[in-house]
Amino acid sequence: MSSDVWILAEQADGALAPVSFELCGWGRGLADALGARLCAVALAERLSDDELAKLFRHGADRVYCAEHPALARFLPEPFQRVLIQLIRKEQPDIVLAAATSTGRTLMPYAAAKLEVGLTADCTQLAIEDGTGHLLQTRPAIGGNILATIKSADRRPQMATVRPHSAAPPPEQPGRRGEIIRIRPTDEQVASRVVFEEAIGNADQGLNLKDADVVVSAGRGVKKAENVALVRELADELGAALGASREVVDRGWLSYPHQVGLSGKTIRPKLYVAVGISGQIQHLAGMQTSEQIVAICNDADAPIFQVADLGVVGDLFQIVPALIDRLRERKRT
């Protein structure tokens, strides 16, 4: 068995998904701690050398690229056959994927076939001193605690990592590695499921994952009717509307708006927290945002520990004044 660390690089239409580079960051740290190689596995109809070189610039040492027309779109059966055969042949120590629809579907399938454990939706990964075991930290009990899990007796150690839980590492221009291209047989990529079409999110106004600006409402808005004030601010900023867990639990906004360990982990350019005190469950979902603005009446609220700009005061005075100022600037 090798001590290699593997990541699953996702792609669409011949281009690598940004989450693949986030995984490079996680995998590079683990590989360095083990003194191991970082290898990326890509499954696609075709990926160019230039596209795969992006993985090297983000920290990978080797790329296994399996190519076949049947791998153009994700389907569980062909993907798991190709991945499992490669794992059995090369025997990596660790295999990571993103906790996306692809990773959440493929990794449990593969882990069951390989008869190994899987920790899903991790927000932290580390190597245990002395043993080399992978320490896999994830939210548990509805996000109220963080549990650290390890697989001491089975290999490979497998985990999915929550997207946006860490920033991608900076590119290293000129960094190169080895590309190994694999040609699966038609039998390997046979599938009882046929891809028909991709249908986008019906709620086009809700785009937390990819939004550059997110404005979130917290318990401080006091009642459901007051969420409209936060929505108005979001509209003025061209932002997606988010929420703390308590707002969702109270039914003031629906679950797809929830930011936090038990909701979405996001990394927008600007995050505005309105009436959110900042419990650990919420902070873990947004603290990697590029700029954080917090509006809260409690000067000791944890949200101010991560905020770039904190405003202590009554949100019912501050937010309307902010909306008026934004509208005034648009008129000038």
SS3 of 63, please?
strand
Evaluate whether 257 touches 269 at the Cβ level (below 8 Å): no
13 exposure class (CB count in 10 Å sphere: 0-12, 13-18, 19+): exposed
Domain 213-331 belongs to what topology?
Rossmann fold (3.40.50)
DSSP 258-305: BBSTTSB----SEEEEES----HHHHHHHTT-SEEEEEES-TT-THHH
* Cα three-residue angle 112-29-144, rounded to 5 degrees: 65
The segment(s) of the chain belonging to CATH 3.40.50.620 are 5-182
The candidate with the shortest Cα–Cα distance to 2, out of 89, 82, 80, is: 89
Quote the DSSP letter at residue 257.
Answer: G
Q: What is the pLDDT along the chain (332 residues), one digit of tens a residue?
A: 568 999 999 998 888 998 999 999 999 999 999 999 999 999 999 999 999 999 999 989 999 999 999 998 998 999 999 999 999 999 999 999 998 889 999 999 999 999 999 999 888 899 988 888 999 988 776 556 788 888 888 899 999 998 887 778 888 998 999 999 999 998 888 888 888 877 665 554 557 877 899 999 999 999 999 999 999 999 999 999 999 999 999 999 988 899 987 788 888 999 999 999 988 889 888 888 889 999 999 999 999 999 999 999 999 999 999 999 999 888 87
Query: What is the gyration radius of the CA atoms in the chain, in angstroms?
Result: 22
| CATH 3.40.50.620 is the classification of domain 5-182 | yes
Spatial CA neighbour of 277 closest among 207, 218, 203: 218
Contact present, 182 and 62 (Cβ < 8 Å):
no
pTM score, two decimals? 0.71
Q: Is 158 exposed, middle or buried (0-12, 13-18, 19+ CB in 10 A)?
A: buried
